[in-house]
Amino acid sequence: MVIGGSTNMDEDQVCPRCKTSKYRNPSMKLMVNVCGHPLCENCVNLLFAKGSGTCPQCDVPLRRNGFRVQLFEDAGVEKDIDIRRRILREFNKQEEEFATLREYNDYLEDVETIIYNLVNGIDVLATNKKIEAYKRDNRESIVRNRARGRTEEDELDEILQMENELNEERAREEQERLQAEKRNKVQKKEALIDELMTSYGDAKKIVASHTKVAEPEAPVAPKPRPKPTQFSSGVRIGGTRLPAVPIVPQDEGEPFVYAAPQLAMDGPAAPDSERLSADGYLSHIKRVGDAERAGGYAASLGCLRALQEGMAGLLFFPGADG
Amino acid sequence: MRLNVDGLLVYFPYDYIYPEQFSYMLELKKGLDAKGHLVLEMPSGTGKTISLLSLIVSYMLERPLEITKLVYCSRTVPEIEKVLEELAKLNRFIEKQTGQKTKLVGLAVSSRKNLCIHPEVSQEREGKVVDSRCYGLTAGYVRARAARADTAAGDGDGADPVPTCQFFEQLEESGRDATLQAGIYSLDDLKHYGRERGWCPYFVARRAIQQANIIVYSYHYLLDPKIAEVVSKEIVQSSVVVFDEAHNIDNVCIDSMSVHINKRMLERCSNNISAMEKRIANLKETDAARLQDEYQRMVDGLRDAQMKRENNQLLANPVLPDQILQEAVPGNIRTAEHFLNFMKRLVEYLKMRLRVQHVVQESPAGFLKDIFNKICVDRKPLRFCAERLTSMIRTLELTDMADLSPLVLVSHFATLVSTYTKGFTIIVEPSDDKTPNVYNPILYFRCLDSSLAIKPVFERYQSVVITSGTLSPLDMYPKILDFHPVIITSFTMTLARPCILPMIVTKGNDQVTISSKFESREDPAVIRNYGNLLVDMVTAVPDGVVCFFTSYMYMESVVSSWYDQGIITQLQKHKLLFIETQDAAETSLALLNYIQACENGRGAVLLSVARGKVSEGVDFDHHLGRCVLMFGIPYMYTQSRILKARLEYLRDTFQIRENDFLTFDAVRHASQCVGRAMRGKTDYGIMVFADKRFQRSDKRTKLPLWIQEHLKDSMCNLSTEEAVQISKRWLRRMAQPFSRQDQLGISLLTLQQLQSEEMQNKMRERVTHRI
């Protein structure tokens, strides 16, 4: 560090109006507004007592509630970020909305140029017109994108959430381990005292045996199964965002075609349902009551079944080659 | 001699061979046959280097299609030189045996600082300055400007000639076919070669990388993604990579991916940015076409063709997935002004983050979210930051790289933080660990996963050999580096006499337990007993004695107590006393005098620190180190946030428990320290572990096998008095004359002895430890 130079960047801060420095007044806070010119807190209170006024450096009309604490050393950066925030609220298209990467990059550059122009006061009028035009043309997509949030931010949030979960898990494990250790210790102590009280053996031996037992420690507790954090489809439980990859339709193979099964009766064919009543088969079977008919049963069904069963296998000769 | 190793003809340039060298080659051969990775531990001083070189070079000669290249990575320049000496010897031997010139090209590659022969630039002392001055003379646009100036001067315009490097120019003139002839080139040979022909040795070496059969260079050329992409990108897949002295390889990996940023660097960044802004404004008036040209390249998304030019590749971006590199630079940092604006916001943001009063720890994801909320910067432009800055520097034709280094570092940080969301952490501390009371905020961007940096190496190359004298416990390395070796083996040392005497001293003469654990380390009784141990050993041991403490702070407090207790005076009756300090120059002076005192028989004690310079790079062979004392167990500073974060990561990702890793690290450093005394088979030395905790099995079993073998149970719980008695007896035995004849047939073999049936059987049994 240069001798004589300040060692703390905070001490370099000087209010341009009243020349108070951080060194003289450690509680001094520099504030900035949209124009990017800093003022200390006292000056702001003094100049903007009525709630609005002009910047002492550039005469831009300012409102008092527009002032906030200066975060960065360079007030120009402060202004840049102010404008950038405002612009990015409108220009919030995402990469997915462009057909090619090249178009997206061109768009990014346009946005950057607009910000650059506004910050440095180049063609402010034309630029503002451009912004207005853009707003008019893309009103819907702006609102939609605002509601949707940024993909990248979602990704980061997800990582952060996972990290947090991991940390919590770790803290819990640690605590459990400590508690178990404590419990163990107390138990052992009690066991020793119990034995000393009840046993008639040599006290020294008992103590020695217990200290020996105390040595081999740490039966590692089985790790609890990790909580499921994802559905099998890859969607996070409790997560709102859909997975980046669309669900791939599974290959289901050829559609099923019905083919009537060939029956091997090995016997004379049973009479078909029309001949049942005509040949009087039905008269030999129990009459169908109302209750059975309600269930969809008809006498012909039972009859046919009985006939088929009776005739199947009549002509089957074991040993004969079929 | 010519050996038959499992059916392979191996040229070995010495007349005698150690049995373990032969076993080592056997295992190495198996691993190479299987085209897999190996972890091999063999004690220092048993000729690892020559075994490795002999086997692999012979393998290359016999089966040139299977292995085309050997990449040998070592740590320091002296070590690299040693490897090349051995290699040259091997090459001469092979030539003598076969009676014809080999076609092998082997060379050392090092930084510009070690290879530059430019009369002015080579006078610079700092590597960074040499790099940047060289860049200022050889970059493509500088040369183009020089050419323009030349023609202008020819026209009689009288424009100032632009300085360039004549050596580089001559190399360029001789065209692409200016290659190295077959032979082995050490750094000095390269310089000599360059001077003879008027070629720049650095670029000759860089070009030779693709053509050479054997390359010897430092770890960073392969592990540091920023350098590896430039230097080692085109090394073929069928290469064998050897990491020698690899016991610290995980730390090298981690350091190569980590960045730390302090306030002063950010101030310099701001200056850099405003300088660049001026430059751009200037350029817009004079040569707007150039900016337009760059812009067009950005739009087209082509990677700059110029970038392929090797002399421009001083800056490369950190590792990025390839598909991103193919993509175009995002639109919002395409033009120069926008990008500078972007960097400005980034630097301001970092400045703001540095204004902390307490420690802040954050994950990369949290950081990215915050950076979007605060300065509206997306992840994508951050990812392209390093790439974009490189292009910008080239367009602006800036040559003072040393001056721009902080900005480059910030851009690397931006790229890394947005590329990796796992395996990294960000810690902002208001002050340094060393000076906790001075406000000096630092942002650490720390890699926690040592496997990240080395992963491309394992994936790309056919065989990777990790070897060192102290790699125990062997199974830790595959875990923390995340790879699957085909062979893990530890070799012990065959000895004709018990020339290592490891002892664990647990109590002083007054039966006080000695230990450096936190509760008792400031106890005057413990310190006194450490002192008495040292005094007694010093009385018994001739010549040099080296002591290692666990930290500088502990050493200072112990030495001041010793002074009060009169121990220092007692010590000085017997030997001179030298102390290692954090200042490198002071330490090397102390070392020099220590060596002098040992040489002339006065005897000396060196007090040094584990993990310090002495413990890593200095050998105390023969009389320079007859006894090494390790006072305490050199654990890492466990309160450090960075270490805590790494331990947590290791536990969650690799299921390594905190304690296991801490002990592993402490014991590897302890064995590294005591291993300093044994540098060969004729050497002998006492190793004293002075801490009660060493006798516990979890520490003892983690020591290297070659130490464990000699650490009998009777040596594990000694008091000071007993230890001194044992050493006296042992020293008397060791001081007897010892000739080669005594070793022959046991720990040293001739070809006939090696080929005998009995020895071959023994050899097969020797591989004692395999997983």
Q: Is A105 on the interface with B (CB under 8 A)?
A: yes
| Cα nearest neighbour of A105 on chain B | B331
Higher pLDDT pick, B492 / B605 = B605
For residue B333, the chain A residues in CB contact (below 8 A) are 112
Residue among B331, B351, B376 whose CB faces A106 most closely = B331
Please tell me the distance in Å from B350's CA to the nearest CA on chain A: 9
Q: Which of A6, A11, A30, A77 to mutate to test the interface with B (most CBs of B within 10 A)?
A: A77
| Cα nearest neighbour of A81 on chain B | B375
The predicted model scores a pTM of 0.80
Check CB contact under 8 Å for A160 and B363.
yes
Half-sphere exposure of B100 (CA within 13 A, CB side): 2
Q: Is B192 on the interface with A (CB under 8 A)?
A: no
Q: What is the mean pLDDT of residues A225-244?
A: 56
Q: What region does B67 belong to: left with phi over 0, alpha with psi -120 to 50, or beta?
A: beta
Higher pLDDT pick, B79 / B301 = B79
A16-20, A31-35, B467-471, B506-510 — which one is most confidently predicted on average?
Answer: B506-510
Q: Is A98 on the interface with B (CB under 8 A)?
A: no
For the ranges B252-256, B513-517, B637-641, B755-759, the lowest mean pLDDT is seen at B755-759
Residues B3-39 pLDDT 10s: 888 889 999 999 999 988 999 999 999 999 999 999 9
Q: Which of B368, B448, B696 to mutate to test the interface with A (most CBs of A within 10 A)?
A: B368
Question: Residue B31 burial (CB < 10 Å; 0-12/13-18/19+)?
Answer: buried
Beta strand B424-429 with B442-447 is: antiparallel
Q: What is the mean pLDDT of residues B78-103?
A: 91
For residue A112, the chain B residues in CB contact (below 8 A) are 331-335, 338
Q: How far apart are CA B185 and CA B202, in angstroms?
A: 12
Q: Is B341 on the interface with A (CB under 8 A)?
A: yes
Rg, Å, chain B Cα set = 29
- The pLDDT of residue A2 is above 60: no
For the ranges A180-184, B10-14, B45-49, B461-465, the lowest mean pLDDT is seen at B45-49
- pLDDT for the residue B303: 52
| Closest to B508 measured CA to CA, from B488, B484, B485, B533 | B533
| Closest to B181 measured CA to CA, from B217, B214, B212 | B212
Residue among A80, A105, A159 whose CB faces B345 most closely = A80
For residue A160, the chain B residues in CB contact (below 8 A) are 363, 365-366, 369
Query: What ranges in B3-139 are assigned the alpha helix state H?
Result: 19-33, 48-62, 77-98, 112-115, 127-138
- The pLDDT of residue B311 is above 60: no
Beta strand B685-690 with B500-507 is: parallel
Q: What is the mean pLDDT of residues A114-136?
A: 89
Q: How far apart are CA B12 and CA B107, in angstroms?
A: 20
CA B130 to chain CA centroid, Å, is: 21
Residues making up chain A, counted from first to last: 322
Q: Is A52 on the interface with B (CB under 8 A)?
A: no
For residue A9, the chain B residues in CB contact (below 8 A) are 263, 351, 355
Q: Is B378 on the interface with A (CB under 8 A)?
A: yes
Q: How far apart are CA B479 and CA B282, in angstroms?
A: 55
- The pLDDT of residue A8 is above 70: no
Q: How far apart are CA A155 and CA B766, in angstroms?
A: 55
Please tell me the distance in Å from A199's CA to the nearest CA on chain B: 33
Q: Is B328 on the interface with A (CB under 8 A)?
A: yes
- The pLDDT of residue B770 is above 60: no
Residues B497-540 pLDDT 10s: 888 999 999 999 999 999 998 888 889 999 999 999 999 999 99
For the ranges A299-308, B158-167, B542-551, the lowest mean pLDDT is seen at B158-167
| Cα nearest neighbour of A220 on chain B | B657
| Closest to B298 measured CA to CA, from B373, B440, B394 | B394
- Mean residue pLDDT of chain B comes to 87
Higher pLDDT pick, B661 / A218 = B661
Check CB contact under 8 Å for B365 and A156.
yes
Q: What is the mean pLDDT of residues B50-79?
A: 91
Percent of residues, chain B, with pLDDT higher than 90: 41
Check CB contact under 8 Å for B439 and A105.
no
- pLDDT for the residue A27: 84
- pLDDT for the residue B306: 41
Q: What is the mean pLDDT of residues B113-138?
A: 87
Check CB contact under 8 Å for A8 and B439.
yes
Higher pLDDT pick, A31 / A215 = A31
Contact between B645 and B446 under an 8 Å Cβ cutoff? The reply is: yes
Q: How far apart are CA A76 and CA A32, in angstroms?
A: 10
- pLDDT for the residue B305: 41
Q: Is A160 on the interface with B (CB under 8 A)?
A: yes
Check CB contact under 8 Å for A77 and B375.
yes
Q: How far apart are CA B636 and CA B563, in angstroms?
A: 27
For residue B349, the chain A residues in CB contact (below 8 A) are 72
Beta strands in B477-575 (DSSP E): 485-490, 500-507, 544-549
B 219-238 residues with CB < 8 A to A:
none
Q: How far apart are CA B53 and CA B278, in angstroms?
A: 54
Q: Is A147 on the interface with B (CB under 8 A)?
A: no
Q: Is B327 on the interface with A (CB under 8 A)?
A: yes
Residue found by looking up tokens 């040596």 in the block? B715
pLDDT tier for residue B322 given thresholds of 50, 70 and 90: low
Measured in degrees and rounded to the nearest 5, phi and psi for residue A9 equal: -65, -25
A 7-36 residues with CB < 8 A to B:
7-10
pLDDT tier for residue B723 given thresholds of 50, 70 and 90: very high
pLDDT tier for residue B316 given thresholds of 50, 70 and 90: very low
Distances (CA, A) of B752 to B26, B58, B64, B650: 18, 21, 29, 50
Higher pLDDT pick, B157 / B715 = B715
Residues B191-249 pLDDT 10s: 998 888 888 899 888 888 888 899 999 988 888 877 777 777 778 888 899 999 898 89
Q: Which letter does DSSP use for residue B748 in this model?
A: B
Asked if ipTM goes beyond 0.90, one says: no
Q: How far apart are CA B758 and CA B459, in angstroms?
A: 40
For the ranges A202-216, B191-205, B478-492, B706-720, the lowest mean pLDDT is seen at A202-216
The DSSP element (H or E) to which B379 belongs, if any, is: helix B379-383
Q: Is B330 on the interface with A (CB under 8 A)?
A: yes
Q: What is the DSSP string of A241-277?
A: SPPSSPPPPP---SPP---PPPP---SPPPPPHHHHH
A 238-277 residues with CB < 8 A to B:
none
Higher pLDDT pick, A283 / B502 = B502
Beta strands in B566-684 (DSSP E): 576-579, 604-609, 627-631
Check CB contact under 8 Å for B369 and A101.
no
- pLDDT for the residue B673: 92
| Cα nearest neighbour of A6 on chain B | B264
